Structures are given as structure tokens and as C-alpha cells.
Structure 1
Amino acid sequence: MTLAPSMTSALTFPEAGLPERLAPPAVLDPAQQEAADELINGPRRGVYGPFRPLMHRPALLSAVAKVGENLRYQGSLDAALREWTICVVARELSNVFEWDMHLPLAAAAGVPAAALAALDAGEPSPPELRGDLALARSVATELITHHRLGDATYQEALQQWGEPTLVELLTLIGYFAMVCWLMNVARTPGPAPAR
């Protein structure tokens, strides 16, 4: 059995191992069952992560799922930038589910192991990290910490990506911050480790 990344992480995840709150309802009403079926038959192939607590509000679950699907499956960000940014958000917000889910995806997309290890340890990124990835970490961290971007960071991001891509990146950060906060409160467990 392979250990989940959070189990070997340099920093702790406060909700890891605590009993889940806001678990899916034991019995699904027709609207909840329809929402679950949409997830099962869609690209996610199951009801997990933020969709566990969202089962309590099926219309909201469907709307949130569509935004996430657009960002992950129809977005314009390259896989390394997208997965790295998700990992930055997960680490900044100490979310065990998104960290365990997206760390292997980031590595598979070509994000250097040294950068992922530095992020995991809360250390600065290696100086040789690809410029757009380093900037994405700055953007996500600044946005989460200060709730906005300073003029210098905004101008650098605008020059790096242009308006459409910057809007997508900011939306990705906001989407994953939202689901991380929801799961942190719900104490949603990380994905099942590979066997």
C-alpha cells in the first residue's frame, strides 16, 4: 500500500485523521441521487472530496461541479501550472484532500520534485523553478494572505499571462480555496491511498 502524501508531509494537516463532519446523507433524496449520478457518470467518476458535504445541497453541488470541471477539464492552463497552483492553495490552506489528490498529478505534469518538497515544507521555491510556476505561487499566496494582489504582482501576472489567462488562474485559486475551506470544516478525508 502506498502512503498518502499527507502522511509523509513535512507539515501537518490539522483535520487529517479527525472524524468527518458534514458527511453525505445516509439516505439520498431524489435530487441528491441525481446529483450523485451526475458525478459518477462524469469525468470525476465518483462522489468524493468537496462533493461529500455538498450532497446536502444538490443544486449547489451541481453548480460547483460544473465550475470545477471547466477549470480542470476545459481550462486553458497547462497541466503543470494548473496542478502546481492547486497544490499551492491546498498547502496554504492545509487541506489534506486536495494535497493528496493533486500532488501526484502535479508531479506527473512535470512540476519538479524539489519545488513540491519546498512547498510541502513551507520553504521558498527553488530558484530554478519555471518562472510562471514561481509567479503562480506568489499570486496564490498573496491572494490568500492579503485577499488581493498588489500592483507589482498584478502587473507581472498580467504581463506573464494576459487578462484571459489571469482571470482563469484567479478563478482556479478562488475555486480551490472555497472547496478547501468547505472540506476543512467538514473534515473531509483525503482520497483512499493506492494499493
Structure 2
Amino acid sequence: MQGDTDRLPFITERDQLPEDQHEQYDRIADTRGRVRGPFGVLLNSPPIAGRIGHLGSYVRFESELSGAERELIILTVAREFDCRFEWVAHEPLAREAGVDGAAIDAVLDRAPTDELSEPASFIVAYVRSVLRDNAVPTALFERTKDHFGTRGITDATATIGYYSMLACVINAFEVVPEEGPSPW
């Protein structure tokens, strides 16, 4: 899923950048297999692309979160921002990581989380609370922290922020996936 946009140049090759910026391109391509999605437009500012890529490597590949927890957070962020690219890219990864189909459907449909099993119920509720209310009720925060621990809830919250930033980039620059039907 490469991605494409008509709003800005979409950087797909390292020689589209000045030679002194090839290192930024190479780091992004090395950690992700290639440059795609939001990084194709972020490379219009190589220094910011490099910094975002570095953070993303930790969030995606090194954080305390399990794959299922991370992917459920990402899908919830994608849906809250109606970010089609993020959804199409991560929905299969969520299934591969073991996220229950009922949780994916609830996120997609913006359905209540009461019927979901734990930890999906409070993970989705936590993400929605951060993004919709700009606050988290104490009981939900404590339940989520009990599950993740101090470092884990910090990683989870930073993951919400990171994928929110990417959703803003993707939506503003209208980056669309090459494949996959619109989920909504």
C-alpha cells in the first residue's frame, strides 16, 4: 500500500531529495521496508520526516504494548479521525495480531464498548476518551493503568498521539491507499 496524493509531491525515491537528505529517506525505508503512506509526503520536510520516523519506530516496533493492543489503539485512532489510509493499512495487521473481530467491528461502527471483552473494551474507551473528551475519567484511567502499568499506559497514550499526528498528515494531504475499499 504505497499511498498517493495530489496535494504535495509524493517522495518515493531517495534521489527526489537533495543528497544531504538521503540519510532521512534511508532510515525510513530501512525501518519500514520502503517509503509509503504519510512518509511520502512528510519527506517534503526531511528533518521532520526523520524525527517522526524515529519516534514511529519505537511506537510501532519497540514499545511495551502487545501487537494486538497497539493495533487496536491504531484502529481506534484511525476511525476517530476517519483516516482511511490508517484503517486500510492496519486493519489486516490488527487481525493478524489477534484483535477480536467484534472489537474491530465496534470500532468501525463507533459502537459502545460494553459488550467487548477485556482488555479491548477499556482500550477502545480510553482512546475515545482521550480523543473525544480531551480527558480520561479516573476509573477508566485506573483500569487502563492497572492493565498496562506505568510505562505501558505512557506508551499507549503516546501511541494515540503519534497515530493522531499521522492521521492529521494523511487527512490534510489527502494520502489515499492504492488498494482496499473505503471502510465507511
TM-score, length-normalised on structure 2?
0.86
Verify: 1:153 aligned to 2:136, yes or no.
Answer: no
Q: Partner of 2:119: helix, strand, or coil? A: helix
Greater mean deviation of Cα atoms: 173-182 or 52-61: 52-61
Deviation, structure 1 residue 148: 2.2
Deviation, structure 1 residue 22: 2.4
**What does residue 99 of structure 1 align with?**
87
Deviations 1:36-65 (A, max 9, x none): 22222x231111111122111111111111
Q: Partner of 1:43: helix, strand, or coil? A: helix
Deviation, structure 1 residue 126: 6.6
Percent sequence identity is 27
**What does residue 34 of structure 1 align with?**
23
Number of equivalent positions: 176
Q: Distance in 2 between matches of 1:19 and 1:47?
A: 14
Answer yes or no: is the 8 Å Cα contact 2:38–2:175 preserved in 1: yes
The answer for unaligned runs of 5 or more in structure 2 is none
Deviation, structure 1 residue 25: 5.5
Greater mean deviation of Cα atoms: 140-149 or 85-94: 140-149
Answer yes or no: is the 8 Å Cα contact 2:4–2:37 preserved in 1: no
Match for 1:22 among 1, 5, 8?
Answer: 8
TM-score, length-normalised on structure 1?
0.82
Deviations 1:64-93 (A, max 9, x none): 111111111111211111111100000111
Matched to 2:35, the amino acid is V
Kindly report the root-mean-square deviation, in angstroms, between the aligned alpha carbons of the 2 structures. 2.2
Verify: 1:70 aligned to 2:53, yes or no.
Answer: no
Quickly say closer, same or farther: Cα 1:34–1:191, change in 2 above 3 A: farther
Match for 1:43 among 31, 52, 68?
Answer: 31
Deviation, structure 1 residue 167: 0.3
Q: Which has the higher contact order (CA 8 A, sep 6+)?
A: 1
Greater mean deviation of Cα atoms: 96-105 or 158-167: 158-167
Verify: 1:112 aligned to 2:100, yes or no.
Answer: yes
